[in-house]
Amino acid sequence: MKIYTEENLSNFKFWNEAKENANKLTDPELDQIEAELENQYPDGMEDTQLNDLFWFDFETVLEWISKEECQECGNLFESGEECECQEEEDEETEE
């Protein structure tokens, strides 16, 4: 039996790596992503499909909110800018 529920993205119970990725996002960012998901999936999506998107295709999710994930520290930062850890590294090499 399939049971479908309507739920806000900020209340969704992600699991495994998707949970870690979702925890990096603020509620306003999750709201933006939810709006994009509603546009791209007007009929909704299954919980596994949503979890897999945040787990295996997190870069796409971040593109929707103009963010990138730092490969060194895992922090999120605005697209086109440097992560804070990179800025600190740059300052250390200048000294």
> Which tens digits make up the pLDDT trace of 26-74?
999 999 999 999 999 999 999 999 999 999 999 999 999 999 999 999 9
67: β partners = 78
What pLDDT score does 90 carry?
A: 63
Residue 82, pLDDT above cutoff 90: yes
CA distance 61 to 40: 12
For residues 63 and 42, the answer to whether their CB atoms sit within 8 Å is: no
Separation CA 55–CA 59 (nearest Å) = 9
Q: How many CA atoms lie within 13 A of 6 on its CB side?
A: 3
Three-class SS state of 7 = coil
pTM attached to this predicted model? 0.85
Give residue 89's pLDDT band: very low, low, confident or very high (50, 70, 90): low
